[in-house]
Amino acid sequence: MTVKTFVVQSDAAPLARLLRTYVEGLLSQLRQEGHYVEVHIFPTRNAMKTALQRELEQLEIPSSLVVPDFATFHEAFAGYPRIWISSEDADLRSPISRARLQHEVGHAVLHWEISAYLLDVPPSLKALARAGRMTHGDASWISYMISIGVKDFAVSRLLDRSGIHEDQEAFYLQELGRAEAANEGLFTALNELKVVMGAHPFRRNPGVNAALGDAVRRLGGLTDVAREILLCLDGSRDADLQETIELVSRTIALGMGA
């Protein structure tokens, strides 16, 4: 069995079977039959977050390396891909729930090694920290946000190339529409840039393309930087994760006048 499900309440067994079948179908569509994936199912999102934080502590992984507000989550800290999901977010009748699970399966295919999560701060951001342009903590946080955006872009590109796009388009239309009317501050702008990077491969959809244009314009001082980043991503290769993160970081550093 290449997809294993784990539940923490007995009445989740039927849901586990549905999720396992769905994930196996996605792996087949991605031409990854036989790829090992674990799916851990919890009764609530809070229960999932608590278990994830406990797991990170046991593995001695700093909890700052994850964003605990995700509805679903993929990681490979144990050395193999694991998807975390709650019953609250596992309604496969919902295109948004399907999109989230599709996204995590994409991560399981592309980012199944721990090296995809324990990444160094890029040299360009280290240089800014040494020059006093930002704190070392800010450099680490910015690096983390960039790494999420780069990996999300790679997953979206994989899904789009595999014909998995309708639910993704619905998801990103929702996410892009949630943005504030104006982005103030680098951290807020980077959070939106992360969404833009994930949505970019689905820009052939007219609605997504229009929402992307609006989101990029809302980035203010990072608008031109974002456009340059998207051009860089179009020419990137999935295997060059650290290199792509440095390329994006360097583009942001140049946009900050470094």
Residue showing tokens 């993160």: 245
**Which residue type, as a one-letter code, is found at position 234?**
D
Helices (H), the chain: 13-29, 45-58, 95-110, 123-130, 136-161, 166-177, 186-199, 206-217, 223-234, 241-255
CB 132 within 8 A of CB 111: no
CB 19 within 8 A of CB 101: yes
The reported pTM is: 0.91
Task: Tell me the mean pLDDT in the region 28-44.
Answer: 92
Question: Between 214 and 258, whose confidence is greater?
Answer: 214
Task: Tell me the mean pLDDT in the region 207-229.
Answer: 92
Lowest mean pLDDT among 55-69, 86-100, 202-216: 55-69
3-state secondary structure of 74: strand
CB 105 within 8 A of CB 27: yes
Residue showing tokens 């583009």: 251
Q: What is d(CA 258, CA 251) in angstroms, rounded to the nearest whole number?
A: 10
Task: Tell me the mean pLDDT in the region 110-134.
Answer: 90
Q: Has residue 180 got a pLDDT over 60?
A: no
Question: Between 257 and 137, whose confidence is greater?
Answer: 137
